[in-house]
Amino acid sequence: MLSSFKERLYQNRWRFAAILIGTLVGFISAVLCVYFNLVIFGFNIMFIASPLIAGYTEAFIARKKHGKSTGAISALLIFIIINIYGWFFPKNPITLNLFTLGGIALTIQAAVPILVNYLLFVVFIGTITYALGLIGNLLAKLTGKPVSTPEEAKSVAMPTMELLFSTVPLIEGKTVVKNFGLISAEAVLKEEKEGKSSLLNKINVKKDMVYELGKVRNEALKSLENMAKEIGANAVLGVTIGYESVGGLTGSTMIVTVSGNAILYK
């Protein structure tokens, strides 16, 4: 058991070293910020810069030596250390005001970016989108204009595929006669902008985009099927579907890409 512990410790030595070095570098940067009194709007920049420096140093060493990220633990440690210092120990501790609130927000973002990004882009924006959808449905009922529902969006008929499409890379009980390699196809959905539009129209456009997206996805799958037929394949394995949104001055474009490994089996 002791030997197993030593072996795990040895395998993760650069992981621990990255965290330690990142914390040390972040701590040194905080000390320098305090020593040289690097203050902006009454807020020492160590609260923003030091967690970023610690996390970057840790990530750089971890990827170079350990081969993967260690989660920026040093950034969180520095975040805790400098906040304990800044709020309780100096002769003039930090007080709550508009600038310190902004600094706290930036510090938290620097220390725990994954959590903050999730709260901001998933929870907050998701809530706003859901609320706009409810408002759109209410306005549609009041004005008598139909709004497509999620059920209608799901009712897009899948194209009749003559080939076998599978998301797994193997077919049980079948023999692969020939492997043609990776093939891919794509289809494009473009939303044109027609000047200024009301909130209701914008919501209806987005819902129509969801509905049309199903048809565009089916077009891409049909193109993939035709491509497979042309090269003599009778199945496409490991099928993946990707969506990419590209914005522009004339409108937003959704590109649907499908790909998979074409084979001939019997």
pLDDT in tens, 206-252: 445 555 777 888 888 888 999 999 999 998 888 888 877 665 444 46
pLDDT at 10 (0 to 100): 83
- Please report whether residue 131 resides in a domain: no
Whether 60 contacts 66, CB under 8 Å: no
* Per-state percent for the chain, helix, strand, coil, to nearest 5: 55, 20, 25
Strand runs labelled E in 86-225: 164-165, 176-192
Domain boundary among the residues 77, 92, 111 is at 111
Same domain, yes or no, for 99 and 163? no
Q: Which residue type occupies 234?
A: N
- Please report whether residue 48 resides in a domain: yes
CA angle (51, 53, 55) in 5-degree steps: 65
- Please report whether residue 196 resides in a domain: yes
Distance CA 83, CA 261 (A): 53
Give the residue, 37 or 153, on which the prediction is more confident. Answer: 37
CA distances from 254 to 114, 199, 217 (A): 26, 21, 10
Range of the domain at 14: 2-111
Q: What is the CATH number of the domain that holds 179?
A: 3.30.110.70
- Please report whether residue 43 resides in a domain: yes
Same domain, yes or no, for 171 and 254? yes
Domain boundary among the residues 80, 111, 142 is at 111
CA distances from 90 to 57, 94, 155, 246 (A): 27, 8, 64, 50
Domain boundary among the residues 84, 111, 138 is at 111
- Please report whether residue 249 resides in a domain: yes
Query: pLDDT digit string (tens) for 70-100?
Result: 777 888 888 888 888 877 877 767 666 665 6
Instruction: Look at the alpha carbons of 207, 210, 214, 216 in this order and tell me if their dihedral is positive or negative.
Output: positive
- Please report whether residue 141 resides in a domain: no
Same domain, yes or no, for 107 and 165? no
SS3 169: coil
Main-chain phi, psi angles of 22, to 5 degrees: -60, -45
pLDDT at 208 (0 to 100): 52
- Please report whether residue 143 resides in a domain: no
Same domain, yes or no, for 183 and 239? yes
**Would you state the torsion angle of the CA atoms of residues 123, 127, 130, 131, taken in this order, to the nearest 10 degrees?**
180
Main-chain phi, psi angles of 265, to 5 degrees: -125, 165
Whether 33 contacts 86, CB under 8 Å: no
**Would you state the torsion angle of the CA atoms of residues 147, 137, 143, 148, taken in this order, to the nearest 10 degrees?**
0
- Please report whether residue 97 resides in a domain: yes
Structural domain tally of the chain? 2
Query: pLDDT digit string (tens) for 111-131?
Result: 566 666 667 666 777 678 778
Find the helix packing angle between 98-111 and 46-61, rounded to 10°.
Answer: 10
Distance CA 238, CA 173 (A): 17
Residue entry with tokens 């390699």: 181
> How many C-beta atoms surround the C-beta of residue 253 within 10 A?
15
Q: Which two tokens stand for residue 37?
A: 């009194």
Above 90 in pLDDT, residue 7? no
pLDDT at 200 (0 to 100): 40
Residue 145: CB partners within 8 Å, gap ≥ 6? 139, 200, 204
Same domain, yes or no, for 249 and 171? yes
